[in-house]
Copies of this chain bind each other. A is one copy, B any other.
Amino acid sequence: MDVRVTSEPFDPGAEANAFIARTQGAGAAVTFTGIVRSKAEDPILALELECYVDLAQAQITAILAEAASRFSLLDATVIHRHGRLVPGEPIMQVMTAAPHREDAFRGAEFLMDYLKTDAPFWKKEVTPTGERWVEAKAEDDEARERWGQ
């Protein structure tokens, strides 16, 4: 289990390889990478991620432990950046490893749903015409609800 809340860039593939290499006995590894997206019809210049670092570290650590026990994960890692990112840059990455694919998938989705609603990051989009805070989505709350309390 590893949690890294950082303002530094990371290499998604190198992290995935290191994760797979250090996990013994896995038959399945799932990696989710979140990427800064700029829509053609509504472009952004940058994404600024604000973070309450101490709380983020504590929250993600707790969510990882919960995911590991629910889904029999052999290992799981979350990397989450904060600071200013440009379109195409990786924002965050979740990696899970399990004996079988169902658990690896479920664990990664569970972690993503919880990170969306329970990890103290706030996104601000910098656009050609100004800045705007990204609003929390009702669908993210609903996605989280499906896992129960």
Closest chain B residue, CB of each to CB of A32? B30
A16 in the interface (beta carbon within 8 A): yes
A28 in the interface (beta carbon within 8 A): yes
Q: List, in ascending order, chain B residues with CB within 8 A of A27's CB.
A: 34-37
Interface residue from B12, B34, B39, B104 paired with A16 (Cβ < 8 Å):
B12
In Å, the complex CA distance between A109 and B106 comes to: 10
A24–chain B nearest beta-carbon distance, Å: 8
Identical chains bound together, number = 2
Interface size on A, residues (CB 8 A): 34
Once the chains bind, are A33 and B13 in contact (CB under 8 Å)?
A: no
Once the chains bind, are B34 and A31 in contact (CB under 8 Å)?
A: no
Once the chains bind, are A104 and B12 in contact (CB under 8 Å)?
A: no
A-B pairs with beta carbons under 8 Å apart, 19 shown:
A11-B13, A11-B17, A12-B13, A12-B16, A13-B14, A13-B15, A13-B16, A13-B17, A14-B17, A27-B34, A27-B35, A28-B32, A28-B33, A29-B31, A29-B35, A32-B101, A34-B101, A37-B99, A105-B105
